[in-house]
């Protein structure tokens, strides 16, 4: 294969991936699509530019226009998240976490967080950003039935270990964290409180989940491409009025964890913030409505949907169990669904210990289905596709054909200034 052939092969694979998602039901909870205006900002000359520093305080020339972009974004972010401080430069949720950890803790300090086995993100673990920062990790006792930290036991743990930082938030995130009481315990022992809202940031901004910065969190981090429907990137946010603390947070991003912070993605993020101010509350509300409807519909079809007693979910996610602990049933279910045109991810559930071979569950998300206009009625259709593929064990090619026909009616990006093709250029 020549180098030119390799380049063409890459573009062919790019287009094939687009067709896959266009014709499928994309239900990975950490994914979303962008609007036409966001796409124009991302696909711009900014992709190769630098603007180290802050608006009006750059190390390079030629940044006046980007100063305008970032200044507008900072103003919008402070409004959207009802906070005094925002940094929109971070290139991802994990980089946001690394930056916040740099600002809030020193190597060797103790941190409390949710275990990855209980749904915590890998950046909260020794294998991720917590380990990179050299922090001593202690994980919270977990309430399996409620899918959240055991409040009383977690408060006792915080008081006993006296961490420098108490981290909350998850990757598997069904319900708001009971934050206030645990934050009070952390502040009582002099700890800072950090909330990783990567998955639920759009729900928070849309007033549909919880309000961590006003429930005790000193810092909130998050991703700009999950329930917040922008390009890939991150946020660092705080409602502190301490200018020295603001400076410390800014420095933790640049020069702490970013040099180039992908100006084209920042510009797209700013457009997404403007669109969220106009449409975000409606979008967040519809996401939660759809997730609740999906959970109930899957249960009605005979699936084991977690947290039935709490209404299955209060977020964008639904969890289903497909076998016993470490059975690998979730892995097999995800593969079957992909063959049927439904894109999901296997996920460890309480009791699982083998991340690659053993997961017994699926983590399902509805942000992208909602973004293309699906509602509660369509969630019933989606649940029936699941049942045909996994319970009735119907002919997978027939299920896939019907999924393609169904999805063909949902090809337009909604909740934005200019509606357009959800999967352009195909």
Mean pLDDT by 10 residues, the chain (426 residues): 96 95 98 98 96 95 97 98 98 96 97 91 89 95 92 97 97 96 98 98 98 98 98 98 98 95 97 98 98 98 96 98 95 97 94 88 98 98 98 92 98 97 86
Which residue spans within 79-189 are E strands per DSSP?
85-87, 110-113, 136-139, 142-143, 148-149, 165-168
pLDDT of residue 221: 98
Do 238 and 322 lie in one domain? The reply is: no
Q: Strands of 262-302 (E only): list them.
A: none
**Residue 373: exposure state from Cβ atoms within 10 A (0-12, 13-18, ≥19):** middle
CA separation for the pair 65, 226 (Å, rounded): 28
Is 415 within the bounds of a domain?
Answer: yes
End-of-domain residue from the set 253, 275, 297: 275
pLDDT at 117: 85
Quick one: 233 and 330 in the same domain?
Answer: no
Residue 186 to residue 165: CA distance in whole angstroms: 8
| 305 phi/psi in degrees, rounded to 5 | -100, 125
Asked if 144 contacts 117 with a C-beta cutoff of 8 angstroms, the reply is no
Burial of 49: CB neighbours in 10 Å, binned 0-12, 13-18, 19+: middle
CATH number at residue 142: 3.40.640.10
**Euclidean distance between CA atoms 203 and 234, whole angstroms:** 15
pLDDT at 425: 73
Confidence (pLDDT) at 287: 98
pLDDT of residue 118: 85
Pair 315, 348 in one domain:
yes
Domain that holds residue 353: 279-421
Counted domains in the chain? 2
| Same domain as 331, residue 243 | no
Q: Does the N-terminal peptide bond of residue 370 adopt cis geometry, omega within 30 degrees of 0?
A: no
Has residue 13 been placed in a domain?
no
* 391 in the same domain as 270: no
pLDDT at position 25 is: 98
Could you tell me if 134 and 269 lie in one domain? yes
Question: Do 251 and 317 share a domain, yes or no?
Answer: no
Residue 375 belongs to some domain of the structure: yes
Residue 23 falls within a domain, yes or no? no
- Flag whether 30 is in a domain: no
Q: Assess whether 294 and 268 both reside in one domain.
A: no
CB–CB of 41/270 below 8 Å? yes
Task: Looking at the structure, tell me whether residues 102 and 152 fall in a common domain.
Answer: yes
CATH number at residue 374: 3.90.1150.10
With a CB cutoff of 8 Å and minimum separation 6, the contacts of 11 are none
On whether both 79 and 226 belong to a single domain, the answer is yes
Domain co-membership, 215 together with 338: no
Q: Which of 224, 249, 275 is the last residue of a domain?
A: 275
pLDDT of residue 352: 86
């Amino acid at each position: 294969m020549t180098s030119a052939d390799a380049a063409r092969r890459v573009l062919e694979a790019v287009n094939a991936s687009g067709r896959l998602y266009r014709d499928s039901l994309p239900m990975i909870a950490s994914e979303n699509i962008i609007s036409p205006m966001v796409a124009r900002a991302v696909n711009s000359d900014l992709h190769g530019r630098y603007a180290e520093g802050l608006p009006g305080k750059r190390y390079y020339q030629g940044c006046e226009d980007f100063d305008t972009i970032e200044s507008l974004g900072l103003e919008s972010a402070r409004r959207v998240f009802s906070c005094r401080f925002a940094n929109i430069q971070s290139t991802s949720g994990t980089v946001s976490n690394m930056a916040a950890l740099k600002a809030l803790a020193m190597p060797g300090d103790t941190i409390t967080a949710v275990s990855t086995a209980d749904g915590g993100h890998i950046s909260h673990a020794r294998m991720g950003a917590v380990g990179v920062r050299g922090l001593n990790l202690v994980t919270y006792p977990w309430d399996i039935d409620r899918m959240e930290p055991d409040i009383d036991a977690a408060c006792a743990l915080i008081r006993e270990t006296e961490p420098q930082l108490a981290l909350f938030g998850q990757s598997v995130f069904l319900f708001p964290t009971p934050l206030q009481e645990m934050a009070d315990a952390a502040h009582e022992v002099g700890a800072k409180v950090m909330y990783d809202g990567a998955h639920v940031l759009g729900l928070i901004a849309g007033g549909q989940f919880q309000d961590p910065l006003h429930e005790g969190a000193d810092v909130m981090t998050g991703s700009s491409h999950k329930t917040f429907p922008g390009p890939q990137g991150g946020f660092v946010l705080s409602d502190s009025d301490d200018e020295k603390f603001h400076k410390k947070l800014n420095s933790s991003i640049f020069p702490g964890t970013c040099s180039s912070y992908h100006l084209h993605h920042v510009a797209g993020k700013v457009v997404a913030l403007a669109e969220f101010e106009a449409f975000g509350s409606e979008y967040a509300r519809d996401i939660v409505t759809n997730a609740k409807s999906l959970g109930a519909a899957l249960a009605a079809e005979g699936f084991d949907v977690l947290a039935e007693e709490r209404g299955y979910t209060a977020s964008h996610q639904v969890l289903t169990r497909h076998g016993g602990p470490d059975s690998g049933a979730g892995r097999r279910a995800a593969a079957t669904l992909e063959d049927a045109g439904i894109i999901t991810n296997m996920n460890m559930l309480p009791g699982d210990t083998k991340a690659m071979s053993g997961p017994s569950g699926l983590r399902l998300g509805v942000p992208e289905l909602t973004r293309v206009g699906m509602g509660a009625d369509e969630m019933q259709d989606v649940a029936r596709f699941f049942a045909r593929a996994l319970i009735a064990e119907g002919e997978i090619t027939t299920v896939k054909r019907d999924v393609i026909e169904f999805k063909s009616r949902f090809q337009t990006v909604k909740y934005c200034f200019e509606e357009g093709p959800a999967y352009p250029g195909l």
